[in-house]
């Protein structure tokens, strides 16, 4: 089954990268959010087809791809604003969008407010991060976060969320290869700010596994740590001023931190399964 899921996982990332590469470098920031907002819901559709599990009726978690598509569309519009206004209008607009529509199971009004606030904070952070450390580092940070969320979703039996997180990882990977798409005024940074907290909230609300809330929150917020650890005083040129040894030590620290936070999930996934289909 995992082999079959590789196509829905990688196809959106490849489509995203291919389209970005067709665009001129200066156009990438403008279109990256809209493209990402389109390919992630497409990953959901491909995932359904591959799982043979086309939904019979609307489920609360289907709000997730709808929110992501909406965020993609909104971010494409928001980049048209003057940069000064975007810095504040984008977090507020996207936070409101996520908070309004993100009613996953077991979430009450207070949770929706929290979701909205976390998305607003996340979007602001990604815009700042893109401004500070313009370059491949931002994409790498998002990639690490998405990669970490995927096994947590899989451990909770939420296969489609796993596909979505993994697809988001391939899209982040594409952003590493085309870093211009993540400029501070770019819609790609805004979309990343929506994707990570929303994925984590959706996973948390459906989770029957042992992953506590802080593990979901830590994974969605991991890029903050990555960026702080790696580039505390980033130069505007985007080049790392730190010596390579210091960078390596920080990288090891991040990997250790990630491993520690993912420990319950890894333990659960490594537990003996009854067949080749894992827990099924």
Partner 1 sequence: MQILSSVVRSALVPGLILVLFPLSQVTAGSPAPRQPVAWQLDPVHSFGLFRVQHMNAGMFWGRFNDVTGTVIHHEDGSNPPKLKVRCAVESIDTGSEKLDRTMLGPKWFNGKEHEAMTFVSSAGEKIDETHWRLKGDLTIAGVTREVDVMTELTGIGGGPQGRKIGFECTLEINRNAFGIRILRGAIGDKVRLVVGLEADERKAE
- Tell me whether residue 55 or residue 212 sits nearer to partner 1 (CB atom): 55
Q: Report the sign of the C-alpha dihedral through residues 47, 49, 53, 59, in that order.
A: positive
What interhelical angle do 187-206 and 213-230 show, nearest 10? Answer: 150
Residues 253/254/255/260 CA torsion (nearest 10 deg): 90
- Tell me whether residue 23 or residue 266 sits nearer to partner 1 (CB atom): 266
- Tell me the backbone φ, ψ of residue 146, rounded to 5 degrees: -65, -40
**Minimum distance from residue 161 beta carbon to partner 1 (Å):** 8
**Minimum distance from residue 59 beta carbon to partner 1 (Å):** 6
Contact 176, 133 (CB under 8 A): no
**Minimum distance from residue 206 beta carbon to partner 1 (Å):** 6
**Minimum distance from residue 51 beta carbon to partner 1 (Å):** 5
Contact 130, 189 (CB under 8 A): yes
- Tell me whether residue 47 or residue 95 sits nearer to partner 1 (CB atom): 47
d(CA 78, CA 86): 6
**Minimum distance from residue 208 beta carbon to partner 1 (Å):** 4
Q: How many CB atoms lie within 10 A of CB 117?
A: 15
Q: How far is CA 45 from CA 7, 38, 41, 160, 262, in A?
A: 12, 11, 7, 10, 28
- Tell me whether residue 41 or residue 234 sits nearer to partner 1 (CB atom): 41
**Minimum distance from residue 279 beta carbon to partner 1 (Å):** 5
- Tell me which residues touch partner 1 (CB under 8 A): 1, 51-57, 59-61, 105-106, 156-160, 205-206, 208-209, 268, 271, 273-275, 277, 279-280
d(CA 129, CA 140): 12
Which letter does DSSP use for residue 184 in this model? T
- Tell me whether residue 260 or residue 277 sits nearer to partner 1 (CB atom): 277
- Tell me whether residue 18 or residue 53 sits nearer to partner 1 (CB atom): 53
- Tell me whether residue 31 or residue 61 sits nearer to partner 1 (CB atom): 61
Residue 184 class from Cβ within 10 Å (0-12 exposed, 13-18 middle, 19+ buried)?
A: middle
**Minimum distance from residue 145 beta carbon to partner 1 (Å):** 22
d(CA 275, CA 30): 47
**Minimum distance from residue 198 beta carbon to partner 1 (Å):** 15
Enclosing H/E stretch for 106 = none
- Tell me whether residue 236 or residue 270 sits nearer to partner 1 (CB atom): 270
């Amino acid at each position: 089954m995992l082999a079959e899921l590789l196509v829905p996982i990688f196809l959106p990332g490849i489509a995203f990268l291919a389209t970005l590469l067709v665009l001129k470098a200066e156009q990438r920031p403008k279109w990256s959010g809209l493209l990402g907002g389109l390919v992630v819901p497409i990953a959901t559709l491909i995932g359904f087809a591959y799982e043979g599990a086309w939904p019979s009726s609307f489920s609360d978690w289907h709000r997730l791809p709808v929110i992501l598509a909406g965020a993609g569309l909104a971010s494409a519009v928001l980049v048209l604003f003057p940069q000064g206004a975007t810095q504040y209008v984008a977090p507020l607009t996207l936070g409101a969008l996520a908070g309004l529509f993100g009613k996953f199971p077991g979430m009450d009004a207070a949770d929706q407010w929290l979701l909205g606030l976390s998305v607003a904070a996340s979007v602001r952070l990604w815009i700042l991060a893109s401004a500070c450390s313009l370059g491949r580092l931002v994409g790498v940070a998002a990639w690490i976060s998405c990669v970490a969320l995927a096994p947590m979703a899989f451990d909770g039996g939420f296969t489609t969320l796993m596909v979505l997180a993994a697809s988001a990882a391939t899209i982040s990977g594409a952003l590493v290869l085309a870093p211009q798409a993540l400029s501070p005024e770019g819609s790609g940074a805004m979309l990343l700010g929506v994707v990570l907290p929303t994925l984590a909230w959706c996973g948390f609300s459906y989770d029957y596994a042992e992953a506590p809330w802080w593990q979901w929150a830590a994974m969605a917020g991991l890029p903050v740590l990555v960026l702080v650890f790696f580039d505390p005083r980033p130069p505007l040129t985007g080049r790392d001023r730190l010596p390579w040894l210091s960078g390596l030590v920080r990288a090891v620290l991040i990997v250790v931190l990630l491993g520690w936070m993912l420990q319950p999930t890894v333990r659960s996934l490594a537990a003996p399964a009854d067949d080749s289909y894992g827990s099924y």
